[in-house]
Structure 1
């Protein structure tokens, strides 16, 4: 693979090159990982930035419908929009449906839009492990707004927050208590809560739900990265495309305030440090997947199972063995 040519085509906004590069960064093959790292290093000096928007919500809340309506509104303004949609993978077969392009038929035909579905595989947090690198590739390709649509809520929304500039939480009207166990943590991370389906018979319920969440937001401790009035709750209708312009205006207002008060750059720097930490942790865990390490683990696990060795002592012996192998190498 000619990385120079691939990088140049990405910088020119070539969609096929972008899709090929995302496939490369999603690969777990060791040679592909080396190529992906080199490609990202070649693109980094160009310093292109997009507005990264993370989007989460319960299944059936209308995330795909909202993304399509919102994305079409942005492309109509002349903006280039990339959608990174993460589909849940089967715990049994490992497969994913990857049907987001089918659900976003109108947006998928838009010349200023790019939709890339990816499997979540075994990675928790509602996003694929390499989504962050896919975001960097989309920025290099010249996209203005990147929408990261997650699997859903209830796992670890901090993963989404650590790769986005704004975090939107999409809720359904009169949703009941299905978010009861997780909503406080999610609400503390959300910059905007959008109550979708505010149309037809559900509109009064949507307005009530919005008022309830607006009241709940006022009870939360104020975050330093928020101006007065944020985070806030709003009603939208993705089907009737109502409230989208207002939501976009609020997003722009928040972004401009954070840039003016240095929170934007500070957040990006903190995210970079976070992902460095994650890469180190993944690299260390990868050492446990080698043939030698697996054999040593199986041997020690058998001794733990029969009771001749404690789990703590077995872990100590394994780490000592790995450390000895590293020094020998």
Structure 2
């Protein structure tokens, strides 16, 4: 059987009429650009020159699960690393519906108005059924996406811990090398994505809304303990009074927690991403935190710990990948899974059997 020919998505499908807005010239330019593969040195040079197209291509490269792309990805990261670590990294989380995308757009526009270069790495949840992601953050941030001083990169969470894209940590390095001085990471807002994002940012911001029962959540540990600031969003219209009351409740709740290692006392504030009220104050609060933690040397200490943490996480990830790709494991995995499912052996015996197969190289 002849190999199946790859068909470009830019070509007309039989029975489907091409849109009137399709420019043949533009389509040809895109196809030619895709054909030209940049070398590692070319990618690095373009990234350092601030080329956002090259940055996108490099992030796609490091997100690739193709083993052949790994050496090239590592070479690009190595070339960009000396130019990284010059940004402020901010993690933003909150439950779905709290207005993360609207807030980030308003916040990002404020930062670019101050002359900042902002990169937004948005983690989009992947379906456990179809394994697909919508990746619609650029659509929701329609104003910010047109800003020449902003870069928005939605990435699928895949099967990684807590919904954090597997290569977000490396994407931060590339964005910093490209000249972005403020990196914003938006979490999925569910599961343990907050824990993973907290381990790669300098400042962790928790978005809340009033009148949704969230006030009682304030006394719970976990996410509240990680937050450096709690922001009550949607403080506009009839919600202004509710937001103020929520602010009081969260302030009380924060006093139940032990002091943070940074020595910083988390603060609660309100804002409206719709009217832009309170947005500038949030940036001032973040700058106060950065100044404070740099003065007591916690800022650098935290980054050093984060680097060590991600080294160990990478080891775990690589070992897991090598385990499942091992010929002995790949050959017997389905058979042992079947035996476990049929109660012929216990899950623990099954795991030990596979581990023994892995050791016998």
Equivalence map 1:278-317=2 (5 Å) = 278-290=313-325, 291-304=327-340, 309-317=345-353
Find the aligned partners of 1:181 and 1:311 in 2 and give their Cα distance. 39
Report the TM-score, using the length of structure 1 for normalisation.
0.93
Any idea what the Cα deviations from partners look like across 1:64-104, whole Å, max 9, x if unmatched? 11100000000000000011111111211111111111111
Residue of structure 2 equivalent to 1:264: 299
**Which of 22, 25, 29 is the aligned partner of 2:62?**
25
Deviation at 1:309, TM superposition (A): 4.4
Instruction: Note if contact 1:167-1:191 (Cα within 8 Å) is conserved in structure 2.
Output: yes
SS class of match (2:153)? strand
- The question of 1:275 aligning with 2:287 is answered no
Residue of structure 2 equivalent to 1:318: 354
- The question of 1:108 aligning with 2:145 is answered yes
Deviation at 1:257, TM superposition (A): 1.0
**Which of 116, 127, 132 is the aligned partner of 1:95?**
132
User: CA, structure 1 residues 47+85, in 2 after alignment: closer, same or farther (shift >3 Å)?
Assistant: closer
Structure 1: 4+ residue segments shifted above 6 A? none
Any idea what the Cα deviations from partners look like across 1:293-319, whole Å, max 9, x if unmatched? 122233334454566644434433322
Instruction: Note if contact 2:219-2:253 (Cα within 8 Å) is conserved in structure 1.
Output: no
**Which of 270, 291, 305 is the aligned partner of 1:235?**
270
Deviation at 1:119, TM superposition (A): 1.0
User: CA, structure 1 residues 82+307, in 2 after alignment: closer, same or farther (shift >3 Å)?
Assistant: closer
User: CA, structure 1 residues 133+183, in 2 after alignment: closer, same or farther (shift >3 Å)?
Assistant: farther
Report the TM-score, using the length of structure 2 for normalisation.
0.85
Equivalence map 1:120-139=2 (5 Å) = 120-139=157-176
In structure 2, stretches of 5+ residues that fail to align are 1-37
Find the aligned partners of 1:186 and 1:108 in 2 and give their Cα distance. 29
In structure 1, stretches of 5+ residues that fail to align are none
Find the aligned partners of 1:213 and 1:192 in 2 and give their Cα distance. 10
Any idea what the Cα deviations from partners look like across 1:148-169, whole Å, max 9, x if unmatched? 0111134342101011111100
Find the aligned partners of 2:343 and 2:233 in 1 and give their Cα distance. 56
Residue of structure 2 equivalent to 1:61: 98
